[in-house]
Amino acid sequence: MAAHEDRQEALAAYALGALDERDRPALEAHLLTCAGCRAALDELRLVTQGIALAVEPVAPPAGLRDRVLAQATLDVRDANNFVVETSDRVVSVRTTTTQLAPFWALTAAAGLVIAILSGAYAWRMNHALEASRSERAELEARLMLVTATDVTRVALAGQPDAPAASGRAYLSPSHGLVFTAQSLPALPSGRAYQLWIVTAKAPMSVGMLPVAPDGHVMVMMPMPAGMNAAMVAVAVTIEPEGGVPAPTGAKVLVGAVTPQ
Amino acid sequence: VRAALVQLPEEQRALIDLAYFEGLSQSEIAERTGAPLGTVKTRMRTAMHTLRSALAS
């Protein structure tokens, strides 16, 4: 009952356009599902329209018409006089004329607005085009890499800390590497995933992985510099944000490099 | 509606004026008139329903 009363009050205010901003979403949501309230609102809107029509017409003060006409006649007479008699007042008439005919100014302003808007539009389109070009270039680079003749494919399996995770790496000494993984668990703040290529001599850091909130990542990175021994494995570990020179944290993904 | 408006109690008519012609929300009206928000809501509803009845008859 109380809710019904509240709603009646809200509907009345809504029809008047006076319902507080914070109360509007709830009422509008209710109106979508309640035919009764929609009908009530329609009736209240008729009232609102009635209020608009009910405004008392205000009678102009007596004598206004005469005063306006008298003033207008006076102005015309004045204008006729000063054009002929005084040159300084002609200047003021010209000024008035200019103010009354700003059509060229409006046209110019409209032209300027159109120019600015279309310029902005062109700029945005150009921007979008640039973005799609660079996306395409990146995709082509990845394609080149995974189809390179020297590519080695490595499947990575989730470790006890992330049993559901899996990954895949494409290692090409000539083109770099592409790494993808999914189902990587979210990390506490200050921790991040770091990718490694383990060689016969030492683990080499490839870089930090920009893992999306859904646990997915796909990156293309250069091969680690100074790699001078055979690749043995690819691994992902949990490290302090910013990375470390040699792995310290738990391994979450590991895959052995097998000659292909 | 005009006749019904005239017959509304003064405080209700003032409310309609503030809401409709000055575009104030209920909270703003409460603030302006010093009346509690609940009172503003109730009066507004009463006024609108009175006018609706007048329109229907």
Q: Taking an 8 Å Cβ-Cβ cutoff, which residues of chain A contact chain B?
A: 8-10, 12-13, 15-21, 43-44, 46-48, 50-54, 56
Measure the CA–CA gap between A231 and A225, rounded to whole angstroms: 13
pLDDT of A62 above 70: no
Quote the percentage of chain A above a pLDDT of 70. Answer: 80
Residues A234 and A189: beta-carbon distance below 8 Å: no
- Nearest-neighbour CA in chain B from A38: distance (Å): 15
Q: How many cross-chain Cβ pairs, A to B, lie less than 8 Å apart?
A: 66
Candidates B5, B21, B26, B27: best to mutate against A (most CBs of A within 10 A) is B26
Measure the CA–CA gap between B50 and B17, rounded to whole angstroms: 15
pLDDT of A135 above 80: no
Average pLDDT for residues B23-42, to the nearest whole number?
Answer: 93
ipTM for the predicted complex comes to 0.92
Residue B44 near chain A (CB below 8 Å): yes
- For the segment A12-45, what is each residue's pLDDT rounded down to a tens digit? 999 999 999 999 999 999 999 999 999 999 999 9
Residue B48 near chain A (CB below 8 Å): yes
Contact between B44 and A13 using a beta-carbon 8 Å cutoff: yes
pLDDT of B55 above 50: yes
* Nearest CB neighbour to B25, from listed A21, A44, A48: A21
pLDDT at position B39 is: 94
pLDDT at position A1 is: 46
* Nearest CB neighbour to A16, from listed B44, B49, B55: B44
- Considering A45-54, A93-102, A187-196, A222-231, the range whose residues carry the highest mean pLDDT is A187-196
- For the segment A69-79, what is each residue's pLDDT rounded down to a tens digit? 776 666 555 55
pTM attached to this predicted model: 0.43
pLDDT grade for B5, boundaries at 50, 70 and 90:
confident
Closest CA to A48 of A17, A8, A10: A17
> Which letter, b or e, does each residue of B29-57 get, where b requires 16 or more Cβ atoms within 10 Å of its Cβ?
bbeebebeeeebbbbbbbbbbbbbebeee
Helix (H, G, I), strand (E, B) or coil at A167: strand
pLDDT at position A91 is: 42
- Chain A residues with CB under 8 Å of B25 CB are 13, 18-21
